[in-house]
Amino acid sequence: PLCLCWALSPVAASAPPNLLFLLMDDMGWGDLGAFGEPSKETPNLDQMASEGMLFLDFYTANPLCSPSRAALLTGRLPVRNGFYTTNAHARNAYTPQDIVGGIPDSELLLPELLKKAGYTNKIIGKWHLGHRPQFHPLKHGFDEWFGSPNCHFGPFDNRALPNIPVYRDWEMIGRYYEDFKIDLKTGEANLTQIYLQEALDFISKQQASQQPFFLYWAIDATHAPVYASKRFLGTSQRGLYGDAVREIDDSIGKILNHLQKLGISENTFVFFTSDNGAALISAPKQGGSNGRFLCGKQTTFEGGMREPAIAWWPGHIPAGGVSHQLGNVMDLFSTGLSLAGLQPPSDRQIDGIDLLPAILQGKLIDRPIFYYRGNEMMAVRVGLYKAHYWTWSNSWEEYSKGIDFCPGQNVSGVTTHTQEEHTTLPLLFHLGRDPGEKYPLSFASDEYQRAMERISLVVQRHRATMVPGEPQLNVCDRAVMNWSPPGCEKLGKCLTPPKSDPKKCFWPH
């Protein structure tokens, strides 16, 4: 019986594979050639797709950076792990410099659990799960870190606002715009090259040590203000954003080639995706494309939450595969544990599923996708049907200031500028026939009635198991900004914080 168990297991537990998650920032479904982007400027990612498996129905857990990343690393919806706000209904919230909260100690992150299987874990790039000392990634399972706790906004004056620090492991080694330059006029910055070298060096070191590794490469060049290194500036057909995509594509090609040269590609599971949809508000110069889907980042329409996704594992994943499995960034938690031969925690609700049956055996798993904004379930997808229980693309006040998350895409009665409740009669779309969410099904149709009977049961079960976590994104205080991060003394970069004055955070969207 023991031999039979090993034969049926998709992964040999005696030799767990390395895990490499490539998480992009604000990159859209339509930004890759493999997903139909016409300029064909992502040859390495396109080759990765041809050698691995493309996911056409892969989602984030929230249309904004911080909650999405919290979901990926915990396998849990943001409303469960605390990455939401109750300051207002259905508002997106994240971790700016003045946020008081962060990832709770009660949450179990993937790297913490992977340590049980002997993994060495590194994060390169943006953490975004809280910047105060108790939220540091090395306190939550990572062994190494090179990157930043926040977005690369700035430059700031270090009086009203401090510039964002860049860390190596426990201590800051400089600040954006001071020691790590980003030229806002030209978009020139060398950060992606630095992140690339960090990845190559870590992989080489781990290969020499013969210990399995988890590398979380969470770079941010495609998040406004977009940047690229000098060699890539002006080389794309899509302006600065396209230049950044080209450099990322080139870097990923080098990373995959490095795995092959070291002879460990067949023992390294690689997954590429994005944290949320492209930021159409920043397009075309500072934002990407969501292809045929409606709206973008900040919204729970398809353009805000459906992501490009590629799985690559030579010798294991059949080349050229295309999966219609409904996937979610939370599944990387469960899939990573499965690859390591570990069971998910049994003391909490885990929303992610193990994708290995879909990836290795083509078995589709029936599961819903929930679309949340803050504390509200806005929509749910079951099969090819998507029901909107609430719609809201942005407030009239913000829209009148030019903040438009659906530029040129407004659909009457769908992209609403006030929060519209549809809980009695949800707006229902068939995403197979209408992926752009332009034509709601008739409430009176038999198709609507049949689909909603099934969806209503799914929603009832979901709500019955929903126990929201303590909201982490309610309180802001300028005193907790990055004034004096660990290591600032050595650099002479400690700044004096203002007096503590905690207030409710204001979230306009």
* pLDDT tens, position by position, 215-256: 999 999 999 999 999 999 999 999 999 999 999 999 999 999
- Helix, strand, coil % (nearest 5) of the chain? 30, 20, 50
DSSP, collapsed to helix, strand or coil, labels residue 57 as strand
Q: Which band of pLDDT confidence, cut at 50, 70 and 90, is reported for residue 3?
A: very low
Q: Give mean pLDDT, residues 258-282.
A: 98
Question: 478, 483, 485: which is closest to 499 by C-alpha?
Answer: 478
Residue 307 has pLDDT above 80, yes or no: yes
Query: What domains appear along the chain, each with residue ranges and CATH number?
Result: 16-365 (3.40.720.10), 376-465 (3.30.1120.10)
Annotated catalytic residue: which of 128, 136, 223, 509?
Answer: 128
DSSP, collapsed to helix, strand or coil, labels residue 457 as helix
List the single range of 185-189, 305-309, 411-415, 475-479 with lowest mean pLDDT.
Answer: 411-415
Residue 184 has pLDDT above 60, yes or no: yes
Whether 295 sits among the annotated catalytic residues: the reply is no
Annotated catalytic residue: which of 65, 295, 476, 505?
Answer: 65
Residue 274 has pLDDT above 60, yes or no: yes
- Report how far residue 142's alpha carbon sits from residue 161's, in angstroms, rounded to the nearest whole number: 28
Question: 177, 193, 287: which is closest to 231 by C-alpha?
Answer: 193
Question: 290, 276, 273, 386: which is closest to 335 by C-alpha?
Answer: 273
DSSP, collapsed to helix, strand or coil, labels residue 78 as helix
Q: What is residue 185's DSSP assignment?
A: T
* 275 annotated ligand-binding residue: yes
Q: Which band of pLDDT confidence, cut at 50, 70 and 90, is reported for residue 180?
A: very high
* 98 annotated ligand-binding residue: no
pLDDT tens figures, 86-136 = 999 999 999 999 999 999 999 999 999 999 999 999 999 999 999 999 999
Residue 10 has pLDDT above 60, yes or no: no
The sheet with strand 369-373 has its strands ordered as 369-373, 376-382, 385-388, 427-430
pLDDT of 242 reads 98
Residue 1 has pLDDT above 60, yes or no: no
- Report how far residue 99's alpha carbon sits from residue 47's, in angstroms, rounded to the nearest whole number: 40
Question: 201-232: string of b/e by CB count within 10 Å (b at 16+)?
Answer: ebbeebbeeeebbbbbbbbbbbbbbbbbbeeb
Residue 391 has pLDDT above 70, yes or no: yes
Task: Write out the DSSP string of 161-180.
Answer: SPPPEEEETTEEEEEBTTTB
pLDDT of 14 reads 63
Sign of CA dihedral 107, 112, 114, 117: negative
Q: Is the peptide bond before 502 cis (omega within 30 degrees of 0)?
A: no
Q: Give mean pLDDT, residues 313-328.
A: 98
Residue 56 has pLDDT above 90, yes or no: yes
Phi, psi values for residue 82, rounded to 5°: 95, 0
Whether 128 sits among the annotated catalytic residues: the reply is yes
Question: 244-259: string of b/e by CB count within 10 Å (b at 16+)?
Answer: bbbbbbbbbbebbebb
| Average pLDDT in the chain | 96
* 25 annotated ligand-binding residue: yes
